[in-house]
Chain A
Amino acid sequence: MYVTSQWVVASGGAEGVNAFYYRHGSLDWSGIPPEGIPQSNPGTLVNETVAVPPPGNRVRAYLDVAAPDGTPWPEVQQNLVAFVADIQSEQLPWEGIRGRCYFRIEFGHDLASSWQQVLGDLINAAHRVLVTKPSGTSS
Chain B
Amino acid sequence: MRGAAARYRELLIELVLERKLNDGTLLDHVEVERAAELDRCWHFMSDTEQEEAEAWWASAPTGPVELASFDVKVDRGDQLLPRKAA
Residues of A within 8 A of B (CB): 4, 6, 8, 18, 20, 22, 38-39, 41-48, 53-62, 77, 81-82, 84-86, 88-94, 106-110, 112-113, 115-117, 119-121, 123-124, 127, 134
15 intermolecular pairs with C-beta atoms under 8 Å apart: A6-B71, A8-B71, A39-B81, A44-B79, A53-B73, A58-B69, A58-B70, A61-B67, A88-B9, A88-B59, A91-B62, A92-B61, A112-B63, A123-B17, A134-B76
Which one, A4, A43, A120, contacts B16 given CB within 8 A?
A120
Contact count A vs B, C-beta below 8 Å: 137
Chain B residues with CB under 8 Å of chain A are: 6, 9-10, 13-14, 16-17, 19-21, 56-57, 59-67, 69-83
Q: Is the contact region of chain A dominated by helix, strand, or loop, or is it mixed?
A: mixed
